[in-house]
Structure 1
Amino acid sequence: MKEFLNKTMKMHDGGDTKKVKKFFSMFPLVTKLIADTLGDKPFHLRGPLNVSALDSVMTVVFENYDKITSDDLYNGFNNLTSSDEFLRLTQLGTTDTKTMQERITFVRSFLLGQ
């Protein structure tokens, strides 16, 4: 993971790539949709902020911003957070590449029905 992050940071260190520009323009829209739809502290699953829940939901919403409605997000997230499998995927080994991919795929299935 550390190697991936270092390579990615080096690739985008000037901050002027298409990917960086898209991120900066989309980030406020994605966070507003999530905050307006899910309310305060939606990623506090078992107490403090659960970064694994945050990163997977943010990733799916970011990648599908033009497809996801607030109703899809609200209903999908509520079903997602009551899932034992999602709780497992956000508890142990959360930075393992396989677990991250599995978690994002799982979130995608709840929020987009894919």
Structure 2
Amino acid sequence: MNNRLIAIIATAGTLAACIVVNAYLACPDVMVTIYNNTNVSLKGLVVTYDNAHKGKDVGTLGKYKNCNVNIDLPGDFSEGEISLHYHDKKNQEHAHILVPYFEKGQNQKIKVHIRKITKDKKLEIEV
């Protein structure tokens, strides 16, 4: 009976450790939640960070909808900024800095509210 109790406790401890490790590993380094508070669907939004070879394309974000953009930073990343890029009506690129400075391991959670879109397709953004 004593050996069986020890085996049950050891199994439960191992299972708990696996759950904790899995939860930690499953979390992205950065999670950006973008809220489109306008009455227009948005396209061409890209979330980038320093030294990114390619940003994360948001895709089409419907009016009054939101989406999550998860970023897993590469092993050689140490520090930088996170920004949101888009093009206006004249195809000029705009970059809005979401986080001016962060380090790997900080597990950032960022909420971005797009409040308004102007006639020339410029976005009013609040972080």
TM-score (norm 1): 0.27
Bigger fraction of residues in strand: 2
TM-score (norm 2): 0.26
